[in-house]
Amino acid sequence: MKITDKIVEKHGLKQEEYRSIIKLLKREPNFLELGIFSAMWNEHCSYKSSRIHLKKLPTKGKQVIQGPGENAGVIDIGDDDAIVFKIESHNHPSYIEPYQGAATGVGGILRDVFTMGARPIALLNSIHFGAPEHPKTKSLLNGVVSGIGGYGNCIGIPTVAGETKFNETYNENILVNAMAVGHVKKDKIFYSKAKGLNKSVVYVGSKTGRDGIHGASMASAEFDENSEEKKPTVQVGDPFTEKLLMEACLELMKDNSIISIQDMGAAGLTSSSVEMASKGSLGIELELDKVPCREENMTPYEMMLSESQERMLIILEDGKEKEAKKIFDKWDLDFVIIGKTTNTNNLTLKFNNKIEGEIPIESLASKAPIYDRKWNKKNPPIHKIDIKDLKKIKIEDALIKILSSPNHSNKNWVTSQYDQMVMCDTVQKSGSDAAIIRIHNKDKAIAVSVDSSANYCKSYPLTGGKQIVCENWRNLISVGAKPLAITNCLNFGNPENQEIMGEFAECLEGVKEACNFLNYPVVSGNVSFYNGTNKKNIYPTPVIGGVGLIKKLSKPLSHNFKQVNSTIILVGKTFGHIEQSCYLKENYSITEGMPPEINLLNEKNNGENLLELINKNLVLSAHDISNGGLITALSEMTLASDFGALIYKPKKLTNLFKYFFGEDQARYIIEIQTQKLPIVEKILKESNIYYENIGLTQENYFEIEGELKISTKDLFKINNQWYSNY
């Protein structure tokens, strides 16, 4: 087949990239080779627009065993235990085919974790939809939630935490980010680096079909009015087969048979073989007529680019093939030796004893394009909002508007579709600041949370990037966990747009600054560009997934009030930052202004000292303050419990709306036994932490002196009405 400009364009390659391919090969590629370059050089696989920025992130720490560059990150949690975790996007597939797109997103991230030798113990997600009134939102929401629940429930991994958000910026491009967490012994971690010559390259799992061909390329381009035509590029998942594959792989990992192992994810057999060979500075020869296929007359091109799910590529030690095959036969899975490692440093593809393609590995990996794209620095917004100029409303009415809004309403309708307790190690499930999962048969646990804040990042990306790291850090602190490391999923628009690239660069700079200061390294992640339709890009939406350690799990700390007549303490200073607040958005449809300032010194000091109070058993409940401000956080503590609160009027900040709805950072609410107040105050004062005694817990009512009084029953009704009516 003659390679024309149109064929090159259809493969998502630019003409200058095609010329680079010719130069690297010293000849024109054939159609199969072009497809392979297309798969490996697309944005989704090569990170060609993001690599120079990603290198700036802190990725090392004394707790880090494996940082970015493997299937998932790995951290040390002591006692020879390690945690493996990663978050990835499946945005485009989920918009085109919501159920299968979301389901295969879950399946893919699970494979990244158990490929490393870890048994998955938890799933999380961050899902973003368009305006609720948009004609597509309801069906997309139903499909995605069903897909996440369907896959996770069937495979038997609890979905323990996440977030569901709505904003018109996602009307034509939803976000579906899936995170998986696994547990492994430190001496049983497996990697993807190929080693040794003439070692068996083994295909295991499901058969290869025509689903998902060009899936990675589809994820590396904007949508347009013809996006529905891309449905064939969406993979089809089978959680029951994935369960079998997981158990078979984990069983094989008990001995020393495996040299390297790689999930067949984006770009399928192409990416898995190239990545293994590249890391090991080896070549790989594949006999494609041996690839198990579920459809007739599949071509080498289709085999190499298929993204059929539930498949792995394994390189085995000599003489281990027979015993390994027995394991996969037992689990009723394909096990076929389809190739070998070589010293050629080439990807050699044979079909019916004929070489159909031969490409230097380095041309697909290390010599893939890297772009230092131009970007524009964003100036801080100068618009200042004078709250006195706004139409006067009651505090009660403003709070009701927030608690009954789509983004703050009770989301039990979503979370009830996820099995959160399977495996029996979920100590605290979704609804609190972070979920808590016990390390099986041990008295220690991990805490996990995912967070995003697109409006802050859109307003001023540098501050937004810092804020979302800090919020995630606070969520782990609030349940008594020491934050250890993060994974990130960076969802942005078209990187060829200088403004969008500027949002990416500055968000990442903010993430870097916060992670460095908090000693909170990035160990894995994913970049998702080209999120947009017809040149309309989404808001910058970096999602942070954090993992923390609870060394001694005596009693999990949650955000629900525990008893009557406890003292309620506000930790951290309130300045009344109202711009970019939920209060302005929900009550006045105002979205202008700067996000709140991030003081990293206060974040660290307040968080570390709160953790000390928690470890000394001085805190009954805790909750970080973020979107919606102090009053929303207090309402959430009431809604999660059988008790209300009596909150005093502030003595220093005169504007009540700024005080109660301002979104100043580095703040927490803690509930303590009143008799322990002197001890708590002493520790806070010695640590130079600003705090206020703001009220007491009480029965039946949520109340602010002289301003509002709502029964806890009515508050519950207000918070539950949106989802029940949608």
Query: Catalytic site residues?
Result: 44, 90
Helix spans in 136-205 (H): 137-155
DSSP state of 120: E
Q: For residue 287, what are the β-bridge partners?
A: 350
SS3 523: strand
Alpha-carbon span 393 to 703, nearest angstrom: 17
SS3 string, 640-705, reads: CCCCEEEECCCCCCCCHHHHHHCCCCCCEEEEECHHHHHHHHHHHHHCCCCEEEEEEEECCEEEEC
Distance, C-alpha 47 to centroid of its chain = 17
- Residue linked to tokens 């979302």: 468
Query: What DSSP element (H or E) covers 189?
Result: none
Q: In the structure encoding, which two tokens stand for residue 437, read together?
A: 């999962």
Q: In the structure encoding, which two tokens stand for residue 367, read together?
A: 């010599």
SS3 string, 374-401, reads: CCCCCCCCCCCCCHHHCCCCCHHHHHHH
CA distance from start to end of the chain: 53
Contact status, residue 658 vs residue 573, Cβ threshold 8 Å: no
Furthest CA-CA distance within the chain: 86
SS3 string, 208-251, reads: ECCCCCCHHHHCCCCECCCHHHHHHHCCCCCHHHHHHHHHHHHH
Q: For residue 119, what are the β-bridge partners?
A: 183
Q: Please state, in angstroms and as integers, the Cα–Cα distance from residue 478 to each residue in 21, 98, 527, 612, 619, following that order.
A: 52, 34, 28, 11, 10
Burial (Cβ within 10 Å: 0-12, 13-18, ≥19) of residue 263: buried
Query: What DSSP element (H or E) covers 486?
Result: strand 482-491
Alpha-carbon span 116 to 250, nearest angstrom: 10
DSSP states of 558-582: -SS--STT-EEEEES------TT-H
Q: In the structure encoding, which two tokens stand for residue 566, read together?
A: 């406890």
Alpha-carbon span 80 to 442, nearest angstrom: 12
Q: Please state, in angstroms and as integers, the Cα–Cα distance from residue 621 to each residue in 409, 552, 641, following that order.
A: 21, 17, 11
Q: In the structure encoding, which two tokens stand for residue 14, read together?
A: 């630019």
Alpha-carbon span 620 to 680, nearest angstrom: 12
The amino acid that residue 552 corresponds to is K
Alpha-carbon span 68 to 70, nearest angstrom: 6
Query: What DSSP element (H or E) covers 465?
Result: helix 461-477
Query: What DSSP element (H or E) covers 287?
Result: strand 283-287
Q: For residue 441, what are the β-bridge partners?
A: none
Residues 6+ apart with CB under 8 A from 663: 577, 578, 580, 581, 582, 595, 596, 625, 626, 627, 628, 629
